[in-house]
Structure 1
Amino acid sequence: MAKPALATLALGLLLSVLSITSCKKYLDIVPDNVATIDNAFTLRNEAEKYLFTCYSFLPKDGDPLLNVGFMAGDEIWTSLDEREFISYGWRAARGGQGAENPYLDAWNGRYQGGGAGDNFGLFKAIRNCNIFLENVQDLSKIPDLSMSERERWIAEVKFLKAYYNFYLMRMYGPIPIIDTNLGISANEDEVRVKRAPFDECVTYVEGLLDQAIPNLPQIITDKSTELGRITKPIALAIKAKLLLTAASPLFNGNADYSGFADKDGVKLFNTTYDANKWKKAADAAKAAIDAAEAAGFKLYQFPGTTFKLSDTTLRQLTIKGAVTERFNINLEHIWANPNSRTGTLQRTAMPRLATTVVVGSARQQLAPPLKIAEMFYSRNGVPITEDKTLDFTNKYTLRTAVKSERFYIKEGYTTARINFDREPRFYADLGFDGGVWYKYDSPTNSDEGTFSVEAKSNQVAGANNFGWYNETGYFVKKLIDWNMINGSNGASYRDYPWPQVRLADLYLMYAEALNETLASPSADVYEYLNRIRARAGLATVQAAWTNFSNNPGKFSNKNGMREIIQQERLIEMAFEGSRFWDIRRWKRAAEVLNQAITGWSVYQPTNSEYYRVRTIFNQNFVSPRDYLWPLRTYDLTVNPKLVQNPGW
């Protein structure tokens, strides 16, 4: 096999893994140095440290440098200066990916963002999971471990092993299946493991999840020490994600991979479309929803505050809070990872809203392109290209906000027409020149006369600081907790664990998979989509399209509803790392990622100059090559049984 499998049981590597301190944030457990595997599994306390070592490999998706989906696609752009923000994902987005030394190499754990994040290869994680399972499943070991706790720990690690395999499959497609570690005496041919066909990988990971689910708790009862541990709803949600991925066009009947085989001629993709995969995905998503709702999970609603706020602002706080509210009180977070925090994310996203704010504490580096702003619906809940009552044909012309719009755009401020008449998620998710930005330390203690973004080059949030400026004129507002406080000595951000799975995600998954199984949309397809729309302050799909779209019958057929579901998903899950994977599994990346990255002329000081659309970068997505990550060339040399992904 490749480099990860050659040292399958190398004790020197084991010692380094067991000394990892990144678990400190995870339940305050720090794995100690353990001399031998035998010592690691003699007593419960030592075995528990190894359990949390298996957890420590969970990708830190709350960090924009480590989450592949943040910077490696087209959803967020940044400055070429890369000031204290070296994003390998963004370098890949600009065409820098290569097989010699791949960026964000989850296979080996290289080029993942620098610092301690590197060398966290997921095959290393799988190897540690195998060591744990081999020893904890041996009833002669860990005599002070109860059977019920043993079964739970085994289930947790089977889940983690399944998740690490799934993560690799999304990136690389077919992967080697390492179900058990090879012994030190294994010969050279045994350690050279081939890539298994993709459907076989899916079956294997699904089996691990099915083995884990019965012995996982429904909820975490000891919230003081166990928040973040794996539960049954989490495992069911990841099973649904796995099966939805397998059912999607990239992996289900994709003729582009018809010639993709290993060196023995074994086809690594089944290029025959299988409609039953969508049925399995729909059933899995519904099972995950039922388990989550039975455990008390529900769509987040902002609980209110003593401050006097408009319904408009309260709606925005609900939309933002679905992500940023901490998971000990946020019942939408089915799985939040406490080992992945969001301090760096918030600091790099936040614009300066006052001259008293230290420049480096609000770096405004994360910049959605103009096409992302255009993606959100009109206030009528339909695409701006379809709204028959609101004219967006002159979307880049200028308009001045009036009093009735003051909770979205500063009264009397002139900004682009495209920033008016948009849905609540547009204003909750995006900041822009003239856009209102309410937060806890509002100078008026309300949303009247509160903060707003002023983003021209001569203004406080303008492009006037080397490297710490916004490249497109749009800011990521959604991911910044409303408790953020400006300060003359810096800014204070309320940290939150990164939500790996939200209930809204499951609703969207179910609607998508169910729509694909039917000849025409059913009541359930509409129901689960409309639950999300209602929370966002929008009319139902049926009402919105009937009354406001120039294509009023779009929702009544399977193809039209597919388009609606996909756009709804791109909007609801914006800036959460989902778009990157979704446009790939839908096999739309060749269309979407060959569009220019555009934004306003942010280096200009006046309205007439600033509001000119400029091309920032022309992306070049090569199909089918760029749909899958390259294996490192070195791994192909070490293990001749491996084959490279097509095009690399």
Structure 2
Amino acid sequence: MKIQLKYIFLILLLGTMFSCTDYLDKESDTELTMDMVFTDKDRMESMLAYVYSGIPDPTWGSLNRTGWGVMGDDWTPSERWQQWGWDAIPKITGNWNTATPWAGGYWGDLPKRIRTANILRANVVPIEGTTITAQEVEYIQAECRFLQAYYYSLFVNCYGVCPFQPDYIAPTNGSTEELLTGPVPYDEIIEWCDNEMLEASKILPASYTQAIKYGRVTSVMCLAARARMLLFAASPLVNGNPDYANFTDTEGTPLFNSSYDQNKWTKALEAHRLLIQEAEAAGHELYKMYNDDGSIDAFASTAWVHARTYADGNKEILFARPQNQTEFDRHISPYGAGGNGGLGMTQSVVDAFFMDNGLSPILGYENGDKTKPIINPESGYTESGFSTNDDVRNTDNWNWYDGQEKVAAKAGTFNMYVNREPRFYNAILWNERYYIWDRRNVDFYQYGKDNNYTHDAPQNGYLGLKRKHPNSDSKNGSWQYRPGIVYRLAEAYLSYCEILNEVSPGNQEILTYLNLIRERAGIPQYATSQQDGYIAVNLTDQDEMRELIRRERRVELCGEGVRYDDLRRWKEAEDVLDGDFYGMNFSGTDKSDDPSNPKAFFVRTQYQKRVYQKKYYWFPIYQDEIDKNPNLVQSPYWTESE
């Protein structure tokens, strides 16, 4: 018997699907009944693929599509790339409003995935003679359960609140009252998502043995997404923020709880503790490579963690999107070596990395002036002059960017880039650094080989390297597969440290997990007393530890799309993302650090002015949606003129 045709339009969407894994790469039909879909393995799996297709691409998509990577203070693309769909660019300069298009498309796309997941959960059945067994049906239902919650968590992370009908499948002939619903309070949505993710994790396996299932939802993936969501919900932006005390729905119901709730931190702590426990029990661990002497090769470890797959031994991955995106590597490769050459990293990222001795080089800026860094005299950092010797390190597996084994920076390097920690050398491509695929130093001087003085050049004197596959050869157009890592164990450890410091200041576990990150990074660890090879810290000083944890998080997770949410949830975006951004001198032609020489390249130079207002913490709802639905309310502060 045919099912009502009101659902068929969903199946027609299958033509826009992507393939989560090889088995999901199916064709759609044009005239289908629900019976035909759920008794046919290929069609049912195509529907499942459509549900999965809403998971944002954590590498290229966070830059070019959702913009989360660009809207923080890590990545900096050429502004003229806006004409090729980089619609995050006008947002960082404050040039957007309630009618501005956004390629992320959460408002229009996520509800479709949620609804399709709901239909799939309600109708999927075992298919005799196929791999769709009763066990597989249970897994598919749990996967859809998680994905519904995950998409709602993305929705509220973007808009703050949204219409919320998790178990309701709106018919195409539904009444206006059924379809035009208003927003639901933030905490109510988070509580539902929390429960759904946790319950799905109890059904799904921690991993799959079949390679064809790579990218399918696991119990660990559920717990990772849940933990990240609860950390955001516990943070100052949405936990006791008085700015939203008067933000209500059309009937006057408050949409954010403006009273601080310490229990939110406790709940986030328990979620992270469970995540770490279950992840480690399933064999997840920080990815490490070793030197011949048995020591950790920090240079190789922090490069390959972003390139190796789970099947290749990278057990640090907790949540991955399997699709490869070679455009990312192309955009961070120099123009003269076959790349697009305009995706750089900001000076503030360069400043953030530690020195090889584990100390921060820069403690702040005089009166907020980024051209006047406050240098930490104990760090050994200087940004004047050029090195006279090679910067030699202990690494047996890493020589991709130096051109000579064990050399992190050759003699003649601007001293700003010398004696920095290993992670720095896997994140930043500076002027005159050796580029192994072209067997030469990069040339970012004005009209140099890698600076044609257009949009396809490093606008602030740097290109990024973070997440680039070490074997992607831009010169010969050989781009290697790299997993799209959404969440890795290092983030869980750092988040756990942050939450412990809020819930249980002085807890020794803070140093335990913080030091796991620093050990892999190849820099001295922290201790509560003066010890050889360690850095003494005051564990009981909550403010000091909060700063140390945030610094470590900035460095370890830079360029991974996490920073923007961190600045938002800490309520620091208004300060950090508003104002002048700096780099080296894009117009420089001289190898000089003389600030009185306008042609000196190695001088802190303002290249962009960014704008961040209080309203930007949440995306605006498109005005035409507000016009169509009288029950909606515009995101906070977007109705005010500034």
Q: Shorter-chain TM-score: what band?
A: 0.7 to 0.9
CA contact (8 A) 1:92 1:103 kept: no
What SS is found at the alignment partner of 1:82? Answer: helix
* Residue 18 of structure 1: how far off its partner (Å): 1.8
Matches within 5 A, 1:72-471: 72-82=71-81, 85-109=84-108, 121-136=109-124, 145-179=132-166, 180-223=168-211, 225-302=212-289, 314-329=297-312, 330-339=314-323, 341-351=324-334, 357=337, 361-386=338-363, 387-392=376-381, 395=383, 397-405=384-392, 407=406, 410-415=409-414, 417-437=415-435, 452-461=441-450, 463-464=451-452, 466-471=454-459
CA contact (8 A) 2:360 2:379 kept: no
What SS is found at the alignment partner of 1:607? Answer: coil
Structure 1 vs Structure 2 CA RMSD: 2.7
CA contact (8 A) 1:83 1:467 kept: no
CA contact (8 A) 1:337 1:498 kept: yes
Query: Does 2:607 correspond to 1:616?
Result: yes
Distance 1:219 1:459, change over 3 A: same
Inter-partner Cα distance in structure 1 for 2:444 and 2:488: 32
Inter-partner Cα distance in structure 2 for 1:546 and 1:43: 66
Inter-partner Cα distance in structure 2 for 1:101 and 1:130: 30
* Residue 259 of structure 1: how far off its partner (Å): 0.5
CA contact (8 A) 2:283 2:315 kept: yes
* Residue 219 of structure 1: how far off its partner (Å): 1.0
Corresponding residue for residue 28 of structure 2: 32
CA contact (8 A) 1:262 1:642 kept: yes
Inter-partner Cα distance in structure 1 for 2:231 and 2:474: 42
Corresponding residue for residue 502 of structure 2: 516
What SS is found at the alignment partner of 1:367? Answer: strand
What SS is found at the alignment partner of 2:485? Answer: strand
Corresponding residue for residue 371 of structure 2: none
* Residue 195 of structure 1: how far off its partner (Å): 0.7
CA contact (8 A) 2:224 2:275 kept: yes
* Residue 375 of structure 1: how far off its partner (Å): 1.1
Residue identity opposite 2:501 in structure 1: N
Query: Does 2:630 correspond to 1:640?
Result: yes
What SS is found at the alignment partner of 1:422? Answer: coil
Distance 1:614 1:157, change over 3 A: same
What SS is found at the alignment partner of 2:362? Answer: coil
Distance 1:193 1:177, change over 3 A: same
Inter-partner Cα distance in structure 1 for 2:315 and 2:605: 42
* Identity in percent: 27
Report Cα offsets for 1:283-332 as digits up to 9, x if no partner: 1111111111111111111367xxx99989x4222101111222321111
Residue identity opposite 1:56 in structure 2: S
Inter-partner Cα distance in structure 2 for 1:547 and 1:128: 59
Distance 1:155 1:431, change over 3 A: same
What SS is found at the alignment partner of 1:71? Answer: helix
Report Cα offsets for 1:20-45 as digits up to 9, x if no partner: 24227554522422523332112444
Residue identity opposite 1:372 in structure 2: V
Residue identity opposite 1:160 in structure 2: L
Distance 1:80 1:639, change over 3 A: same
Q: Kindly tell me the number of residue pairs found equivalent between the two proteins.
A: 597
Distance 1:151 1:486, change over 3 A: closer
Matches within 5 A, 1:563-578: 563-578=547-562
Distance 1:414 1:430, change over 3 A: closer
CA contact (8 A) 1:31 1:52 kept: no
Distance 1:414 1:152, change over 3 A: closer
Inter-partner Cα distance in structure 2 for 1:411 and 1:49: 52
* Residue 206 of structure 1: how far off its partner (Å): 1.0
Residue identity opposite 1:260 in structure 2: F
Match of 2:472 among 471, 481, 484: 484
Inter-partner Cα distance in structure 2 for 1:228 and 1:413: 45
Report Cα offsets for 1:567-592 as digits up to 9, x if no partner: 11111001110101111011110111
CA contact (8 A) 1:409 1:435 kept: no
Inter-partner Cα distance in structure 2 for 1:575 and 1:157: 29
Inter-partner Cα distance in structure 1 for 2:378 and 2:71: 36
Distance 1:332 1:437, change over 3 A: farther
Corresponding residue for residue 43 of structure 2: 46
Distance 1:409 1:320, change over 3 A: closer
CA contact (8 A) 1:456 1:606 kept: yes
Corresponding residue for residue 521 of structure 2: 536
Residue identity opposite 2:473 in structure 1: I
CA contact (8 A) 2:307 2:468 kept: yes
Corresponding residue for residue 596 of structure 2: none
Report Cα offsets for 1:210-267 as digits up to 9, x if no partner: 22112101211112x1111111111111111111111011111111100100010000
* Residue 197 of structure 1: how far off its partner (Å): 0.3
What SS is found at the alignment partner of 2:202? Answer: helix
Report Cα offsets for 1:94-134 as digits up to 9, x if no partner: 1122111342453334xxxxxxxxxxx11111111111122
More strand by share: 2
Unaligned 5+ segments in structure 2 are 364-375, 393-401, 593-599
Instruction: Report the more deviating stretch, 178-187 or 502-511.
Output: 178-187
* Residue 184 of structure 1: how far off its partner (Å): 3.5
* Residue 11 of structure 1: how far off its partner (Å): 4.6
Corresponding residue for residue 506 of structure 1: 492
Residue identity opposite 1:272 in structure 2: S
Distance 1:229 1:266, change over 3 A: same
Distance 1:391 1:300, change over 3 A: closer
* Residue 554 of structure 1: how far off its partner (Å): 4.7
Corresponding residue for residue 575 of structure 2: 591
- What is the TM-score when the length of structure 1 is the normalising length? 0.86
